[in-house]
Structure 1
């Protein structure tokens, strides 16, 4: 599962991506990876993502991001405004798992099941 965290400049998304990656690995979800991107890099970064987590300050761009992601079969989640208080990444990880229907079983390490 490739998780792209998008913010305006890349700083806050870097922290969220790192936290969600650690949270996933801490519970054995080694096939979950997370990386940071910016609103400007999104058109390129979307090709490498299964899920896009959109920073709350980019809510104004959500419709456009969802439109661009839909063409790639990528799930989009708008992060809540208090997401930066999730210091261990567990709540953010749960948002991802809920969005993709991962109810708890550890999936195989295949890179993606989404259409290309």
Structure 2
């Protein structure tokens, strides 16, 4: 599964990706690829990823994201501010995994 975290390009999202990758490895998920990109790059990334997570700092773009993601038959969710703020890789990965159920 390929997961894209959409942000405004900040350092904290890269830290969250690292924590998610670490948890995925520890939990035995070997087929997970995670990357963070600016939300504005969604149109060029839509075909490269399976699920999309919106960082709290770009939640205001959710309507636009929803239109693009759903038009391509894919799923997205928001990362709650408290999970993002704690840089909780496990909870964030669980959000992504739940989108594929």
TM-score, length basis structure 2: 0.88
Per-residue Cα deviation, 1:30-76 (whole angstroms, up to 9, x for no partner): 11110110022221122211111100121111011011011222210
Q: CA RMSD in A?
A: 1.4
Which ranges in structure 2 are unaligned for 5 or more consecutive residues?
A: none
5+ residue gaps in structure 1?
A: 102-116
More helix by share: 2
Asked if the contact 2:53/2:77 (under 8 Å) is kept, the reply is yes
Equivalent position SS for 2:31: coil
Alignment length (residue pairs): 100
C-alpha distance in 2 between matches for 1:27 and 1:12:
23
Distance 2:18 2:53 in 1: 13
Supply the distance in 2 between the matched residues of 1:74 and 1:13 (Cα, whole angstroms): 21
Equivalent position of 1:70 in the other structure: 70
1:81 CA displacement: 0.7
Deviation at 1:12, TM superposition (A): 2.6
Within 1, Cα distance between the matches of 2:10 and 2:42?
A: 11
For the residue of structure 1 that corresponds to 2:66, the secondary structure is helix
- Aligned-residue offset at 1:10: 4.3
| Contact 1:4 1:17 (C-alpha < 8 Å) held by counterparts | no
Match status 1:38 vs 2:38: yes
